[in-house]
Structure 1
């Protein structure tokens, strides 16, 4: 499997891991009687700040998957992974770093670092679009 497809699989796996963590914690809250099974808000607004950040980190992955994952998939389907392979792992690493920072803090420094990780992903995506379209 090419680095591009492995990075896409990693992106999906990371998104799934965040979901599994969130649903494990939610299930525990229901089993402990702390929250009714129908008492969850989509953004976890009625839960701890960590749970709110977790919901947002997961949503960020879902929002980015069609763009970043779509580009990796287009390259693979078109037989053009030579364009995406060199930066595929950098993209995935930037996504994971963005999520981890989001989970850790919302301080001004953390938000700046998180945006920097996202900007890396955007830069790579723009580069890929140009390279896939032009060449």
Structure 2
């Protein structure tokens, strides 16, 4: 198994863990009678601050999957994992860093750190895309 496959599995695993955390958190709100089961909105409006952060962290991970997962899947589909393997774990680490920072705080410093993690993901994705362009165009 190569780095691209492991990083892709890690990314999918992160999305699932965030989903489980969100469902567990919402279940606890229901059990404590803080919220009704039918009162949750897709944007987490009306939830406590941590609920909003969980919701946004999960949504951000899914949004990022379109270009991160897409490029990793492109590498696997075209037998081009030599392009993605070298930075696959850096990409996953940046995604994990962004998610953990988002869950931990919304302070100015935390938002700036989160943005650095996001920029790292974008930079790696641009590099990968340019390498695919060189190979296939």
TM-score range, shorter chain: over 0.9
Q: Residue 66 of structure 1 corresponds to which residue in structure 2?
A: 66
Once the two structures are overlaid, the 10-residue window that deviates more, 117-126 or 101-110, is: 101-110
CA distance in 2, matches of 1:108, 1:65: 25
Q: Residue 25 of structure 1 corresponds to which residue in structure 2?
A: 25
CA distance in 1, matches of 2:43, 2:96: 20
CA distance in 2, matches of 1:60, 1:130: 24
Number of aligned positions between the proteins: 135
CA distance in 2, matches of 1:54, 1:2: 30
Q: Residue 51 of structure 1 corresponds to which residue in structure 2?
A: 51
TM-score by length of 1: 0.96
What is the CA-CA distance between 1:33 and the residue it aligns to? 2.1
CA distance in 2, matches of 1:28, 1:51: 11
TM-score by length of 2: 0.95
Q: Residue 109 of structure 1 corresponds to which residue in structure 2?
A: 109
Where structure 1 has 5 or more consecutive residues not aligned to the other structure, the ranges are: none
Where structure 2 has 5 or more consecutive residues not aligned to the other structure, the ranges are: none
CA distance in 1, matches of 2:130, 2:3: 20
